[in-house]
Structures are given as structure tokens and as C-alpha cells.
Amino acid sequence: MGWADHYRRRDALDAVLNDARRDPSAPLIVDPDVFGSLRELLLALDHRWQNKLTARMENAGLNGPVDEDRVRAELAADEPVLRAVLDAHLPLDSYRAVGMTP
């Protein structure tokens, strides 16, 4: 993926999250020029969550033992729409079905 594709995907994810501010459980609009399916969009949103979570966990680990629940809760507080969209569209059994972890 080149930079142009990266920015297109980032902008599409930002647009989905912006739309979801009103109702995170509403059907998500998939831009077919960017994502081939709803599953692909959800995987990209989960990837964003996982990247942010990994960075925070690693940063917290620089200061000693990590309280993983606290780090997750802080990220959820900072990214409430992202977390709400994932929770609404990927219940626990769906995460397992697509090979992701909440």
C-alpha cells in the first residue's frame, strides 16, 4: 500500500467514525472504492484500535508493570466512538469468527 492508499483508508475510517458519533450501532457505510466489504472495514477499525492499544501498552510498560485494564479503559475513554462501533458491530462471537480479539 502506497501513501495515497494509506491516506485514503485513513480518511475513510475517519469518515465512518465521524458518522457513527450520532449512533455507533447504526449500519456502517462502506466506501467500496476503499474497502471491499463490511468485514474489511471492521478489520481496519479493529486494526486502528489494536495499534493504539499496543502503543499505549508499550508506553505504560516503560514505567514498570502494566495495568492492562486501566490502559484499555483510558483508551476507550479517549476513543469512545471507535470502541462503541467495534462493540456494536463485533460482539464477542463475531470477533472469534473473523479471527480478532476484543
Q: Give the model's pLDDT for residue 1.
A: 72
Q: Which of 41, 4, 6 is closest to 20 using CA atoms?
A: 41
Q: Give the model's pLDDT for residue 7.
A: 94
Return per-residue pLDDT of the chain as tens, 102 residues. Answer: 789 888 999 999 999 999 999 999 999 999 999 999 998 999 999 999 999 999 999 999 998 898 999 999 999 999 999 999 999 998 755 554 444 444
Q: Residue type at 29?
A: I
Angle, CA of 38, 71 and 7, to the nearest 5°: 40
